[in-house]
Amino acid sequence: MFSFIRLAAIFSFISFAFIFSACGVSTAEQQANKKVDRQPPVQIISDKPKIVAFGDSLTAGFGLQEKESYPYLLQQKLKADSYDYEVINAGVSGETSLGGLERIDWVLEMDNVRILILELGANDLLRGLPVAKMKQNLAKIIEKAKAKNVQVLLCGMLAPPNMGVQYQRDYISAFPDLASQHKTTFLPFFLENIALNPKLNQGDGIHPNAEGAKVMTDNVYKALKPMLKK
């Protein structure tokens, strides 16, 4: 369904390794994580059908104001297009696929969850964790969501060549493989048109700034829109 060549063509791997060097575990984030509970401060304000943005610092909006984060911006896009959904930001900085698996039941216990935007795996890569284990964790998250009749939008990531050719190939292939096996909607690269662009990233060169978050929201919304109902 999605070939390795097609995914590799999305983004140049030149100088790509540093993208992940602080995707969830930068020094600043480590300090931030000490100050907050691991569960995100989810605020449910209605009984509307819910879209849960589930991921790491990229979802949580690390370094941004709440109104600059992609889940908040996504909510505004939905309202502008007359979609009656409530977007829940369930991002946790530093989260791995295992961490996501450990808290997905808590997230899915919320009433009226319709769609799960699953954005995890960058921190598994950063820590050099086995791709097979990451894939297994993500598969279990998807299965738990589908068991609750929740649609899944799976967001892919890319790996730098310095991880080794086989690791890189396995990692890149893991996301489209999961999407195909579990018949989920798929966004090949969450940071498309953002990564390595200094104008769209914060000073660390890794996390999107406010303008980058807008592009990230556009990426998500393009993949999400066919899943929506009015």
Domain layout of the chain by residue ranges: 4-227
What's the pLDDT at 1?
A: 44
Per mean pLDDT, which range of 12-16, 131-135, 141-145, 204-208 is the poorest? 12-16
Q: What is the pLDDT of residues 41-54, one digit of tens each?
A: 455 557 899 999 99
Tell me, what DSSP letter sits at residue 38? S
Can you tell me the distance from the alpha carbon of 171 to that of 56, in angstroms, rounded to the nearest whole number? 17
Selected residue with higher pLDDT from 148 and 42: 148
In the predicted structure, residue 188 carries a pLDDT above the cut 80: yes
Q: What is the pLDDT of residues 78-117, one digit of tens each?
A: 999 999 999 999 999 999 999 999 999 999 999 999 999 9
What's the pLDDT at 168?
A: 95
What's the pLDDT at 218?
A: 97
In the predicted structure, residue 75 carries a pLDDT above the cut 90: yes
Q: Over the chain, what is the mean pLDDT?
A: 85
What's the pLDDT at 194?
A: 94
Among residues 177, 182, 204, 218, which one is catalytic? 204
218 carries an active-site annotation: no
3-class DSSP assignment, residue 160: coil
Q: In terms of Cα–Cα distance, which of 172, 93, 94, 108 is closest to 140? A: 108
- Number of residues written out for the chain: 230
Distance, CA of 190 to chain centre? 7
Q: What is the pLDDT of residues 162-179, one digit of tens each?
A: 889 999 999 999 999 999
Selected residue with higher pLDDT from 20 and 128: 128
Mean pLDDT of 133-159: 97
What's the pLDDT at 161?
A: 86
- The CATH number of the domain covering residues in 4-227: 3.40.50.1110
- The pLDDT-based confidence of 3 (bands split at 50, 70, 90) is very low
Q: What is the pLDDT of residues 14-71, one digit of tens each?
A: 334 344 454 544 444 444 343 334 555 455 557 899 999 999 999 999 999 999 999 9
Q: Provide the whole-model pTM.
A: 0.85
Among residues 57, 69, 93, 97, which one is catalytic? 57
207 carries an active-site annotation: yes
Among residues 26, 93, 170, 207, which one is catalytic? 207
Across the chain, how many H-helices and E-strands are there?
Answer: 9, 5
In the predicted structure, residue 147 carries a pLDDT above the cut 60: yes
Alpha helices in the chain (DSSP H): 4-8, 27-35, 57-60, 70-80, 97-108, 122-126, 131-147, 165-182, 210-224
Burial 209-219 (b: 16+ CB within 10 A, else e): bbebbbbbbbb
